[in-house]
Chains A and B, each alone.
Chain A
């Protein structure tokens, strides 16, 4: 009940704050179209900026995920390793081999060369 009261008080305070902030600006006109076009120092664009853009650190993030998955699997594996014995070692070996293929491929593609 206290939590609900607190949430209501917070919501009301936030609403009142937004209202007080917006009230003096109620007569302010919307920015004109000529003001809203992208700033190009007086130039104009040909196309939309909505385009496919290559983030250059993308392969690096994939590599991070490869290593991260490895570690995520290794922690629970370490818990059951004593119980399962050799079978666990083989399973982990297969998992690491598959991940390594990805890492070796990424290496060949030049992921480790930071631009």
Chain B
């Protein structure tokens, strides 16, 4: 009776969903985050439904299996516009965006009420490193250290410490490809000494991102500047959401996303900016780090380059933008704080440009080279720059590293817009 009552309560609760983002664009994120019945969680251990969005490349499917198996029972997997793993029987597959939330809620209800069986595990139920039973504490060696307990070695490989010379055991592991604080697809082998990153080797770059369709259209024909600039501001607001979510400022993060969803030429950034200042995020010590040199900034392009003082923006070459008196805004520091301030300034600037261009229905003049919110796209779209992290992250503490990654947009831009409204 009591269990039945608890089941009923659980079935009515918010659906804890762990999302795995394949190739997609950002429109779906706002739908899920702003839904009152869905809660996107940061660990599969808190989720009852694993949502796999878009296609997952074959090279990342082992990582997906690990994440899949870490959901507590009972759980289910919903595949949104992607081919399910072959090992699964009777997968839940959704193609229409407007059916997704309902499917997630229904799946959760069925799981909680016992009307649906939990998905089966994909990996064998065997210890990855079997117990060897050696040593006083069963850790496989003599004394407190040494040996290979459960077949896995102790963290004993000494490396020179980067911070203050106090050498400790270094801890090596592979993070990603579906770690929530990293861009989807980014996979790295990391060695930590305490909370300091000793080394960071990017093993797999982030998955390409799809921009709003208007950016792809702008490469083929003149498009309304108002529409283009609103899409640009929307993109920056979504990036802002990710940074704020990472910082734990969930309420402001949702505000940013809700603003992105309802963005129009009448929108104002003042309220959001006020909340950001009051939250004190710009005074975090981690905001002072992550300085890019000129070469790195040029390689990244876009707002990251302008935040480091590079006066580069393809909109300057467009006759229509020249008519609007466009001048790129720049910072000089190239730090994490400068990048976030740059994004806020560019959102404001885009809204201003959209307001100026809307009454006359001004269209872009240049279709050969388009300044995307990620960077310039002339001959080819902005490329993946995840390898920059290998140089930037060693020596940083973990919180500084995650803040830096959130401020950098290193993902490649996909050549085509793919399916609409993904």
Contacts and interface: CB of A to CB of B under 8 A. Distances in A.
Given A51-B171, A53-B194, A56-B194, A44 B127 contact: no
Interface residues of A, number: 27
B44 A39 contact: yes
B67 A42 contact: yes
Interface string A18-44: 000000100011011111011111111
A52 B169 contact: yes
Contact of B172 (A28, A31, A47, A52): A47
B182 A33 contact: no
A48 B122 CA distance: 24
Interface majority SS (helix, strand, loop, mixed), chain A: loop
A72 B411 CA distance: 59
B174 A44 contact: yes
Contacts of B44: 39
A48 B144 CA distance: 13
A83 interface: no
A66 to B, nearest CB: 20
B153 A47 contact: yes
A5 B103 CA distance: 55
A51 B154 contact: yes
B333 interface: no
A35 B171 contact: no
Contacts, number: 124
Nearest to A20: B2
Interface stretch (B56-64, B84-92, B270-278): B56-64
A33 B179 contact: no
B67 A41 contact: yes
A45 B173 contact: yes
A51 B168 contact: yes
Contacts of B121: 32, 34-35
A7 B78 CA distance: 51
B73 interface: yes
B146 to A, nearest CB: 11
A35 B169 contact: no
Contact of A33 (B122, B125, B177): B125
A2 interface: no
A42 B178 contact: yes
A54 interface: yes
Interface string B182-209: 1000010000001100000000000000
A82 interface: no
A108 B28 CA distance: 55
B174 A48 contact: no
B179 A46 contact: no
A10 B152 CA distance: 44
Contacts of B64: 42
Given A52-B168, A53-B194, A56-B194, A40 B173 contact: yes
Nearest to A41: B179
A47 B282 CA distance: 37
Nearest to A110: B164
A44 B150 CA distance: 15
Given A29-B73, A52-B169, A40 B155 contact: no
A32 B174 CA distance: 21
A114 to B, nearest CB: 10
Nearest to A37: B128
A1 interface: no
B175 interface: yes
15 contacts: A24-B2, A31-B72, A31-B73, A33-B128, A40-B175, A43-B176, A43-B187, A44-B128, A44-B173, A45-B171, A46-B153, A47-B153, A47-B172, A48-B150, A48-B153
* 4 closest residue pairs by CB, A with B: A41-B179, A42-B63, A43-B174, A51-B155
